[in-house]
Amino acid sequence: MGDLRELYLQKCSDFACEPIAPILEALNAGRPLGVIALDGKSKALFNDRVKPMQVFALCESLYEYGALSVLRLSYNFLNDMAAQAISRLIQVNAGLRMLDLTGNEVTGQGAAALAGVLARPTAGLQALVLRNNPLKDAGVLEIAEMLRNNTSLTMLDLGDTHCGIQGLIGLATALTDGNSTLKILDLEDPVVQGPQDSTFQHLTRMLAVNSSLTELSLAKHRMTDPQLDMLVTYGFARSKAPWTSLSLRGNHLSPFAGPTLERLLSFCPRLQRLNLSSNALGNDGAVSLSRCLAYCAELRELDVRSNAIGDVGLMALAGVLQLVHTLEVFMLWGNNFGPGTCRALADALQHPSLRRLRTDVRPYTVDGEVMLALQDV
């Protein structure tokens, strides 16, 4: 570690930048740098976030450091220059397996640099997180083209990257025609003005053809009931992928989506996590869910927060909880809790089979009346 420390200090001098305090502390203490976590929101870096020149110095110091596996640089002041330096590190250091650049300022140019390296046969990176960077369509299309040749990535997070219609279609096409190794894909919050049938048609074809994906987030896609029906009828119904996680959070699903959700769960028998929060499923949607939950043999997490569900729907869900033996997390705050719901949930949560269930509500009694309070999970 002494040689690495001297090399790092020399590189900092070469690039005329201050050493990153947590890195220098680790080197001084002789701690390994297998996992480097430099979160700009952390107490140590909040007022001294990592800058591009510091990334150049760090990356050049790690070219031959074989123990490096994870590099997290979220919420710093990193631009396309920093992304180019990291691209060179990925190319030279084959041991790096995860890169997290959440919340930086990487644009299409930086995405192109990363994509150019990851498209090579020797690429070894397995997880790439570019969430909350302004990639726009140009950057997302670079990533999409890379996916046609990449065989190492199993996880890709492109949530909140200002991706538009062209980017979504490019990604869906790449995962339909080329890539067969990606397992986890997050496409949360694309920049679309309203429901776009064209994007959902391409996503549907991707679901029907791609057999490697197991986890997908289509949160905040402005999805309506007919588009969900399209995805389920022509996508999930024909999919051969072993789906384990699906997020439909923050869409425009109504109570009429209930039967479609029933069919969705029947087509995904291995689903472990389902997020339906911030829709408008209402009582009818909740009742539809309650009818099929008992047959979800592997469901571990269910989120129905903020869905305008009243007593009828919530009591139906409460009544079936003890039949879902695998359920570990149940989130439901933000709905309309009446007296009947409070009593039903309090009774259900006392059942011995639900002792390990974690939920975001806590029953309590005031003057003989059962009420619910919000609690952390």
What is the structure's pLDDT at 85? 97
Residues in the chain: 377
Count of structural domains within the chain: 1
pLDDT class of 2 with cuts at 50, 70, 90: low
Q: Is residue 365 part of a domain?
A: yes
Q: Is residue 131 part of a domain?
A: no
Q: Is residue 146 part of a domain?
A: no
pLDDT class of 179 with cuts at 50, 70, 90: confident
CATH number for the domain including 328? 3.80.10.10
Q: Is residue 343 part of a domain?
A: yes
Among 72, 83, 73, 74, residue whose Cα is nearest residue 108: 83
Q: Is residue 112 part of a domain?
A: no
Q: Is residue 271 part of a domain?
A: yes
Q: Count Cβ atoms below 10 Å from residue 37 Cβ, excluding itself.
A: 12
Q: Is residue 5 part of a domain?
A: no
Rounded to 5°, angle at Cα 115 from 109 and 120? 145
What is the structure's pLDDT at 177? 84
What is the structure's pLDDT at 359? 95
Parent domain of 279: 243-377
Q: Is residue 321 part of a domain?
A: yes
Secondary structure (DSSP) of 113-178: HHHHHHTSTT----EEE-TT---HHHHHHHHHHHHTT--S--EEE-TTS---HHHHHHHHHHHHHT
Encode pLDDT of 200-230 as tens digits. 999 999 999 999 999 999 999 999 999 999 9
In the predicted model, what is the mean pLDDT of residues 246-265? 97
pLDDT class of 197 with cuts at 50, 70, 90: confident
Q: Which residues are bridge partners to 156 per DSSP?
A: 128, 185
Encode pLDDT of 300-344 as tens digits. 999 999 999 999 999 999 999 988 889 999 999 999 999 999 999
pLDDT above 70 for 1? no
Encode pLDDT of 98-123 as tens digits. 999 999 999 999 999 999 999 998 89
pLDDT above 80 for 164? yes
